[in-house]
């Protein structure tokens, strides 16, 4: 029978950071980390895009007021209410990104990947490495990157339960994603090496065919690097 990803509600006190219970004897932690909150604000909560949108809207309002013959003071007054609202919206999204980063812990052991996520209600997703068919590394700025995980057929987690730790636009078959983790290339290699070791494989690095270009919001691109279930990260 195929192993299913487990969802567990966190207890008030964790047995260990990011883990709802102690690891079984013989299992050990390979890596543990969390999203970079600044990169998360940009890539998952789209703070930069919204800031540009608000700036353009406010500039257009001021420009239209000036074009209609209003003075500079009157044009400034026309955005006196809108500017604080825009700043408030950006502040809330930035705070959510920070809280999401603070409450998220990704844990890779030699047998599974554990994702503890959730701001108000913490939930733990326990993904045995054997149910991870493949992974795709999407590099971002400053060494961060997203690592999307393709689960074996029949293993599925609801998209809304995962968000923002889900690959964008993959709703029918959601893909859990380690979002903007620091030193993402090294983490991807650790995931590949650990999976290969568990499968007893020692395959050499392979270079896959180029991936079809996709949307900048998380679809596959030619920069995606793939991790085979039984092999390390492809260059």
Across 96-120, average pLDDT: 93
Q: What is the pLDDT of residue 180?
A: 94
69 vs 36, more confident: 36
pLDDT tens, residue by residue, 129-168: 988 888 889 988 888 999 999 888 777 788 888 899 999 8
Domain 6-35+104-228 has CATH 2.30.29.30: yes
Greatest extent of the chain over all pairs of C-alpha atoms, in Å: 77
Distance CA 82, CA 78 (A): 8
Percentage of residues in the chain having pLDDT higher than 70: 79
List, in sequence order, the alpha helices (H) in the chain: 37-43, 47-67, 72-77, 82-102, 159-162, 184-199
- Per DSSP, the residues of 54-102 read HHHHHHHHHHHHHHTT--HHHHHHTTTTHHHHHHHHHHHHHHHHHHHHH
The rounded mean pLDDT for the chain is 79
Q: Where are the domains of the chain?
A: 6-35+104-228, 42-99
Q: Is 143 exposed, middle or buried (0-12, 13-18, 19+ CB in 10 A)?
A: middle
pLDDT for 12: 53
pLDDT > 70? residue 208: no
> Whole-angstrom Cα distance, residue 186 to residue 163?
24
pLDDT for the residue 35: 95
pLDDT at residue 13 in the model: 63
- 3-class SS shares of the chain: helix, strand, coil, % to 5: 35, 25, 40
């Amino acid at each position: 029978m195929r192993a299913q990803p487990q969802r567990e509600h966190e207890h008030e006190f964790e047995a260990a950071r990011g883990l709802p219970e102690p690891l079984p004897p013989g299992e050990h932690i390979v890596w543990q980390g969390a999203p970079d909150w600044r990169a998360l604000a940009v890539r998952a909560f789209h703070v930069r895009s919204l800031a540009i949108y608000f700036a353009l809207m406010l500039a257009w309002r001021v420009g239209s007021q000036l074009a209609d013959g209003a003075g500079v003071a009157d044009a400034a007054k026309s955005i006196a209410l809108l500017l604080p609202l825009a700043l408030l919206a950006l502040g809330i999204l930035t705070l959510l990104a920070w809280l999401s980063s603070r409450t998220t812990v990704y844990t890779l052991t030699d047998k599974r990947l554990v994702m503890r996520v959730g701001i108000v209600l913490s939930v733990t997703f326990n993904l045995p490495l054997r149910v991870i068919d493949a992974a795709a590394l999407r590099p971002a700025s400053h060494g961060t990157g997203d690592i999307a995980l393709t689960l074996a057929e029949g293993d599925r987690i609801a998209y809304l339960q995962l968000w923002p730790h889900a690959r964008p636009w993959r709703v029918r078959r959601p893909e859990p994603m380690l979002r903007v983790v620091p030193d993402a290339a090294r983490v991807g290699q650790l995931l590949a090496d650990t999976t290969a070791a568990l499968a007893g494989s020692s395959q050499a690095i392979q270079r896959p065919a180029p991936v079809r270009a996709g949307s900048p919001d998380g679809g596959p691109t030619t920069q995606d690097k793939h991790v085979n279930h039984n092999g390390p990260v492809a260059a």
